[in-house]
Structure 1
Amino acid sequence: MVIKQKISNYLNKLIFSGSRICHKAFTGIFKKSFIAGIDFGADSIKFAQFNEKEDGLHLVSAGIERIKSKDSKQPGDIEIASALKRLLSGVSTARGIFIANINCPGTSAREVTLPFISPAELVQAIRLKAKDYFTFFDEGSSLDYEIAGDVVEGGVRKHKLLVAVSPKATVNKYLSILARTGIKPFSFKCLPVALKGLLGDCYRDSDKVMAFLDIGKRFSEIVVFGGKSLIFSRKIPVAGDDFTKALTAVLVSERGKTALTFDEAEKIKCSIGIPQDPGNELIDGKISSAQVLSLLRAPLTQLSGEISRCFDYYREETGGKTINSLTLLGAGAKLAGLEKFLSDELGLEVNFSLSCEVVKIDKGARELTEKDFHRIAPAFGAALAGPGGINLLPREIKEEAARRIIRTTIAVAVSLLLFIPLLTYIGMRIQLGVFEKRITAAHLELANLEPALKATAAGRLAQNVFADEPYWTDVFRELSNIIPDGVYLSQMSMRGKVIRVKGIITLAEKEKIISDFMNKLEEGLFRNVRLIVTKESANTLHEFELSSGIE
């Protein structure tokens, strides 16, 4: 009987260990390790990686990688993918959720209003109206929207929507580049949406009207927010290369004709910029600071004029409201003296950064963030915007991303369920060989071991308790069949006869989705399904927790 008791004890220990393994697996099985934002520029790629820690969201890594091209030609997909691989060297891409910020002259976002109609009709209505809203929109363009609120116009209640579009060619280009690096993106954002994510997590003052000017290599974009709501965005045909090209103009003086190369002009643009005290002293023996100012005056005047027109439009639309500040972004924003020039021309505060009150920046990312926040801000904001909301990925890829999470969850859970019995069997076989050698010597003692019977009965009782455990294969099969789109489970546990399930909802119609999910649970193996808690998380996802019994 002692031998039987020892076998029973050993089995109980194995079962207990297996339960702990399952619990740890369930708490992490539905989660990726980090979320990362990628911003594709014309000559560089920016990256920002965030991890969730006990005290909140942390920026743990950030980087900028120049795109190398041959013979000063526009880089192709291969060169861009190579730069991305260098940037992500050492990053476990399979463990992350990647959100990319894409841009081109035809990629844009704006707020629109439409009457209250069904979701299916709303999509059709947006597509029909899109040509009125977006110059470059066609039937093949990628389009997505989110409901920003309600408004009343002419006594009629309407949806206020944030709508974003991007040409099919642009979306396919960046899908191809990411595929070359083995990354399956969860979401594509555009600049206004990425900046909205940045404001949502890094800026608390909801009363200020803030403008952002992203000066790229080939075009610029101005985005205006009233608090955290997008007012408008517009592409501006003045960019960083325009200042460089202006400095390459041929100059005629008493010394004859002279002209800077593109590389020489780029160097002077970054080091000298807009001279504050122009004179006739030559820079590198070729051009004076007075000549630099003269050559830069035309693109500077055009830039300030375009910004002023945007601000005038805002004041007309809002009945005279003023814009409080302008934040410069992009590599072109570092034109020396541009900050002061625009501040003087526009008569408002111009700066290079935002104070981030929510996200904590780890030591490894602090130096780059402090030095080049104006360049990594779109990647920063794309990650903070998260996989929910506006997503310019093609519909079939968005659906595949959701299915990928579910498949991974089920595969790992099934592997665990198969592994634990195998581990138990191996342990039993090892111990069985040892116990068989002892059984012969133990037979004479069995008659005197009456007290051990009670322990054996306790062991049988424990086994009966475990026999009441549900068939987990059926449970996971049931869950995989009924989990709706937009719902991701993050944790599952069981205590007594009660199963608890935690998860997140990434879609807007959260009440309907959770209600439908609970009804489907009731129709299957689960009984007495109750909603324990529901709340908004820090990264704008909707968290919930359910409890239920099971047959």
Structure 2
Amino acid sequence: MLWGRKKDVIGLDIGSSSIKLVELAQGKSGYRLQNLGISPLPPEAIVDGALMDSVTIIDTIRELVNTTKVKTKDVVTSVSGHSVIVKKITLPFMTEAELEESIKWEAERYIPFDINDVNIDFQIFGSNAENPEMMDVVLVAAKKDIINDYVSVIMEAGLNPVIIDVDVFALENMLAINYEIAKDEVVAIANVGASTTNINILKNNVSGFTRDIFKGGNQITEDIQRQLHVDHQEAEEIKVGSKMDVASRTIVQNLLKKGSESLAVEIRNSLDFYQSSTTYEKISKLHLSGGGSRIKDFDLILQEEIGIPVEVVDPFRKIECNEKKFDLEYLKEIGPVMAVGVGLASRKVGDR
């Protein structure tokens, strides 16, 4: 959606705990998975969306490109966090050209940053449901220094950044590819990353509300590390239930329950805020993605907290995957982590 020539691209999801690469090919019958890879990042390489260790990030991107043997150089990536603002606003009807002229002045009313320090983009979504004389617009602003940092590491890795998107919109694209949503149905996506949780609420496949919660799976990992005196990797394995010592089972279960409930409450608060501030119908389902979706029993705890069905996403659900090239069980296991990457890879050079 933001700052972006039409041909295939690499989707590069630069997250705070890992970098994910996805390459898709689009044919007449849909998308086909071409390439996929994931490499971990050390803690503190990225903090609140800010790139703190560019050298390691560049090396990790290069390693991913070499390992997956991708030939495409054009990259779509995305940003989120404190330096990104996504706001749905209502304005008097005007043409896109007119809005292009006035968006900077409109944005100043909604953006808590110096307007000269941000890149601004927008998308018009048509007439407002309650006042047909007005139009709904999604306004996006991202700090220039953050955008420049992401562009810089991608170029230093030998690639060509063509679009900088926003995590919540990449998730929206992933959902549109893989899931059919009924007319007027309202659904939510919660992408639980290591340090940030992205919330996007959609009606008719259009964002009605977005929010970033600055809490994710890392807090639970760190609690496990402190309590059990284990390293980061072992704590991650314990968190997803793949490794648990009988002697520490009760401690781990309590930590997982407490951490999951705390995160579930934050997500519920966002859903409640949306529903209290709109006349839209009740949210029918929440689609759960991100590494945090793999926390043992988190989907069940979240469903109990918010009172609506929760489904862990499969971003490859309607994407053709050659089982001679890709391990389908592995794709199922890591699928939720690749959701943003799939959404990014569905873009084309030249997209707005």
User: TM-score scaled to structure 2, two decimals?
Assistant: 0.84
Query: 1: CA distance between counterparts of 2:134 and 2:150?
Result: 35
1:327 and 2:294 aligned: no
Alignment partner, residue 164 of structure 2: 188
1:167 and 2:136 aligned: no
Of 34, 38, 41, the residue aligned with 1:67 is 41
Query: 1: CA distance between counterparts of 2:198 and 2:91?
Result: 26
When structure 1 is superposed on structure 2, of 45-54 and 234-243 the one drifting more is: 45-54
RMSD over aligned Cα atoms: 3.1
Q: Radius of gyration: which is bigger?
A: 1
What is the Cα deviation at residue 369 of structure 1? 3.0
Alignment partner, residue 270 of structure 1: 240
Q: What is the one-letter code of the residue matched to 1:266?
A: E
Q: Which secondary structure state, in structure 1, belongs to the residue aligned with residue 60 of structure 2?
A: helix
Q: Which secondary structure state, in structure 2, belongs to the residue aligned with residue 315 of structure 1?
A: helix
Q: Do the aligned partners of residues 108 and 70 (structure 1) sit closer, same or farther apart at CA in structure 2, a change above 3 Å counting?
A: closer
What is the Cα deviation at residue 124 of structure 1? 5.0
What is the Cα deviation at residue 328 of structure 1? 1.9
Alignment partner, residue 91 of structure 1: 70
Q: Given that residues 6 and 350 in structure 2 are in contact (C-alpha distance below 8 angstroms), is that contact kept between their aligned partners in structure 1?
A: no
Q: Which secondary structure state, in structure 1, belongs to the residue aligned with residue 147 of structure 2?
A: helix
What is the Cα deviation at residue 230 of structure 1? 0.5
Q: Which secondary structure state, in structure 1, belongs to the residue aligned with residue 346 of structure 2?
A: helix
Q: Given that residues 314 and 332 in structure 2 are in contact (C-alpha distance below 8 angstroms), is that contact kept between their aligned partners in structure 1?
A: no
What is the Cα deviation at residue 248 of structure 1? 4.3
Q: How does 1:389-400 map to 2 (within 5 A)?
A: 389-390=351-352
Of 306, 310, 315, the residue aligned with 1:350 is 310
1:151 and 2:125 aligned: no
What is the Cα deviation at residue 329 of structure 1? 1.6
Of 284, 289, 302, the residue aligned with 2:262 is 302
Q: Given that residues 137 and 167 in structure 1 are in contact (C-alpha distance below 8 angstroms), is that contact kept between their aligned partners in structure 2?
A: no
Alignment partner, residue 198 of structure 1: 174
Q: What is the one-letter code of the residue matched to 1:91?
A: V
Structure 1 alignment gaps of length 5 or more:
1-29, 251-258, 274-281, 391-551
User: TM-score scaled to structure 1, two decimals?
Assistant: 0.55
Q: Do the aligned partners of residues 54 and 226 (structure 1) sit closer, same or farther apart at CA in structure 2, a change above 3 Å counting?
A: closer
Report sequence identity in percent: 23
Q: Given that residues 45 and 53 in structure 2 are in contact (C-alpha distance below 8 angstroms), is that contact kept between their aligned partners in structure 1?
A: no
Query: 1: CA distance between counterparts of 2:295 and 2:254?
Result: 15
Question: Larger relative CO (CA 8 A, sep 6+): 1 or 2?
Answer: 2
Query: 2: CA distance between counterparts of 1:136 and 1:289?
Result: 47
Q: Given that residues 331 and 375 in structure 1 are in contact (C-alpha distance below 8 angstroms), is that contact kept between their aligned partners in structure 2?
A: yes
Q: What is the one-letter code of the residue matched to 2:107?
A: A
Query: 1: CA distance between counterparts of 2:201 and 2:257?
Result: 26
Q: What is the one-letter code of the residue matched to 2:340?
A: P
Q: Do the aligned partners of residues 52 and 130 (structure 1) sit closer, same or farther apart at CA in structure 2, a change above 3 Å counting?
A: same
Q: How does 1:445-524 map to 2 (within 5 A)?
A: none
Query: 2: CA distance between counterparts of 1:318 and 1:152?
Result: 11
Q: Do the aligned partners of residues 69 and 75 (structure 1) sit closer, same or farther apart at CA in structure 2, a change above 3 Å counting?
A: farther
Q: How does 1:36-435 map to 2 (within 5 A)?
A: 36-53=10-27, 55-68=29-42, 76-89=53-66, 90-94=69-73, 97-135=74-112, 138-151=115-128, 154=131, 157-207=133-183, 208-249=185-226, 260-263=229-232, 264-271=234-241, 283=245, 285=247, 288-319=248-279, 321-354=281-314, 359-363=319-323, 364-365=325-326, 367=328, 368-390=330-352
Query: 2: CA distance between counterparts of 1:374 and 1:223?
Result: 16
What is the Cα deviation at residue 229 of structure 1? 0.8
Which digits, 9 at most, give the CA deviation of each residue in 1:200-225, with x for residues without a partner? Answer: 33223233322111112222121111
Q: Which secondary structure state, in structure 2, belongs to the residue aligned with residue 39 of structure 1?
A: strand
Q: Given that residues 130 and 137 in structure 1 are in contact (C-alpha distance below 8 angstroms), is that contact kept between their aligned partners in structure 2?
A: no
Q: Which secondary structure state, in structure 2, belongs to the residue aligned with residue 93 of structure 1?
A: coil
Q: Do the aligned partners of residues 135 and 260 (structure 1) sit closer, same or farther apart at CA in structure 2, a change above 3 Å counting?
A: farther
What is the Cα deviation at residue 365 of structure 1? 4.1
Query: 1: CA distance between counterparts of 2:44 and 2:273?
Result: 42
Q: Given that residues 175 and 315 in structure 2 are in contact (C-alpha distance below 8 angstroms), is that contact kept between their aligned partners in structure 1?
A: no
Q: Given that residues 98 and 186 in structure 1 are in contact (C-alpha distance below 8 angstroms), is that contact kept between their aligned partners in structure 2?
A: yes
Q: Given that residues 45 and 56 in structure 2 are in contact (C-alpha distance below 8 angstroms), is that contact kept between their aligned partners in structure 1?
A: no
Query: 2: CA distance between counterparts of 1:63 and 1:224?
Result: 28
By percentage of residues, which structure has more helix?
Answer: 1
Q: Which secondary structure state, in structure 2, belongs to the residue aligned with residue 360 of structure 1?
A: coil
Q: Given that residues 145 and 389 in structure 1 are in contact (C-alpha distance below 8 angstroms), is that contact kept between their aligned partners in structure 2?
A: no
Paired positions, count: 339
Query: 2: CA distance between counterparts of 1:221 and 1:55?
Result: 30
Q: Do the aligned partners of residues 120 and 319 (structure 1) sit closer, same or farther apart at CA in structure 2, a change above 3 Å counting?
A: closer
Structure 2 alignment gaps of length 5 or more:
none
Q: Do the aligned partners of residues 183 and 272 (structure 1) sit closer, same or farther apart at CA in structure 2, a change above 3 Å counting?
A: closer
Q: What is the one-letter code of the residue matched to 2:176?
A: G
